[in-house]
Amino acid sequence: MDLKVVFLVVSLMTLAIISTDAYIPKCCIKTRDISFWKLRKAERWEFQSSAEVCDIDAVLLYIKGQKKPSCAHPKYKKLLEKLKLKRGTTTSL
C-alpha cells in the first residue's frame, strides 16, 4: 500500500476517535480500607458501580494533596453521606 494512503487512513481514524466521545474509563480494580482521617479530608467522591462499565463497586475519593483518587470499599458510602450532611456541602457526584 502506498505510504500516503496509509497516512491518510491513520489520520482519519485518529480524527474519528478524537471527535467522538470515545474514551477508556478509569476504573478501580481493587478497593482498600481508608482511615477516618482520610475520609474527612476528601474534597469530593464518586460511586463506581459494577452495573455500569467497571467490574467492581467502589468509592473514588479525591483527597486534597493526592494526584490520583483512592479506591475505597463501598461500605464507606453511607459514612461519606453522613459526613456530607454534617458539613452541609455537596461533595458527591
Q: Against a cut of 0.85, is the pTM above it?
A: no
Reported as half-sphere exposure (CB side, CA atoms, 13 A), residue 7 has a value of: 3
* Mean per-residue pLDDT pooled into runs of 10, the chain (93 residues): 85 73 75 87 88 89 88 90 66 45
Residue-range domains of the chain with CATH: 25-91 (2.40.50.40)
- pLDDT at position 58 is 93
pLDDT score at 20: 57
Query: Which residues have a Cβ under 8 Å from the Cβ of 44 and sit 6 or more positions away?
Result: 62, 91, 92, 93
Phi-psi map region of 65: left, alpha, beta (phi>0 left; psi -120 to 50 alpha): left
